[in-house]
Amino acid sequence: MTTQDTAQRPALRSQRLNQITHEPHSKLDALVKAHAPFETSANFARFVVAQYLFQSELVALYNDPELVALVGDLPARCRAEAAKADLADLDTEVPAPVAGAVNNPSKAEALGWLFVSEGSKLGAAFLIKRAVGLGLSETFGARHLGEPAGGRAQGWKTFVKTLDELELSADQEAELDKGAIDAFNRFTVLLEQAYATTPEPV
């Protein structure tokens, strides 16, 4: 292996995941901006619909005993209930599930999904500031963007450290990568779905 190969290959698994998901992540960011979720409360409600749909699809992963054995506070990290409460605050109906949710993934693949879900909490630090402009907060309408217990940075560092230290086979590494890319693509689908339909007032 040449020095150049070493330089191009990220030293840590989490860095590799960031690298391989750069394109779908950028595409999703552009799509979020295009839908202008912070221009009006109605636009933001649709954004929360997408967040709820995504988080509700991951409830089983956040409560999976094998995964909880790796990340002890995993169930408490799930934001499905927070997003559901936000929908109620915003007078928006809880959406019906959308076909195509992740179903019984391997442990490695599930970790790829959780990597994306947990990583989004870092970006939420900026989103919550925008939500405040709509009169929302961590206790009303934008709960799912709130600061996790123990802080965003610490929660992320703990998760990434666990992920980086796992012993995985080559096949499992590929499953992990697939899970992370699929997660970004799935959220993109759910976001499009949320903005394609007008949320009905409760």
DSSP string for residues in the chain = --HHHHHHS-SSHHHHHHHHTHHHHHHHHHHHHHT-TTT-HHHHHHHHHHHHHHHHHTHHHHT-HHHHHHSTTHHHH--HHHHHHHHHHTTBPPPPP-S----S--HHHHHHHHHHHHHHHHHHHHHHHHHHTTT-BTTBB-GGGSPPTT-HHHHHHHHHHHHHH----HHHHHHHHHHHHHHHHHHHHHHHHHHHSPPPB-
Domain region containing 81? 36-195
Task: Assess if residue 183 is contained within a domain.
Answer: yes
For residue 19, CA distances in Å to 13, 84, 98, 120 come to 10, 32, 28, 15
d(CA 130, CA 142) in angstroms, rounded, equals: 10
- Residue 1 has a pLDDT of 39
Count of domains observed in the chain: 1
- Residue 3 has a pLDDT of 42
CB 175 within 8 A of CB 112: yes
Tokens of 86: 């936000």
Tell me which residues of the chain have a pLDDT lower than 50.
1-7, 202
Task: Assess if residue 17 is contained within a domain.
Answer: no
Task: Assess if residue 88 is contained within a domain.
Answer: yes
Angle at 191 between CA 52 and CA 119, to 5 degrees: 65
- Residue 11 has a pLDDT of 82
Task: Assess if residue 3 is contained within a domain.
Answer: no
Task: Assess if residue 181 is contained within a domain.
Answer: yes
d(CA 44, CA 127) in angstroms, rounded, equals: 11
- Residue 150 has a pLDDT of 86
Task: Assess if residue 13 is contained within a domain.
Answer: no
d(CA 128, CA 145) in angstroms, rounded, equals: 6
Q: What is the largest CA-CA distance in the chain?
A: 61
Task: Assess if residue 6 is contained within a domain.
Answer: no
- Residue 202 has a pLDDT of 46
Task: Assess if residue 144 is contained within a domain.
Answer: yes
Residue 176: give its domain's CATH number. 1.20.910.10
- Residue 118 has a pLDDT of 97
List, for residues 57-97, the tens digit of each pLDDT value.
999 999 999 999 999 999 999 999 999 999 999 999 999 99
pTM listed for this prediction:
0.92
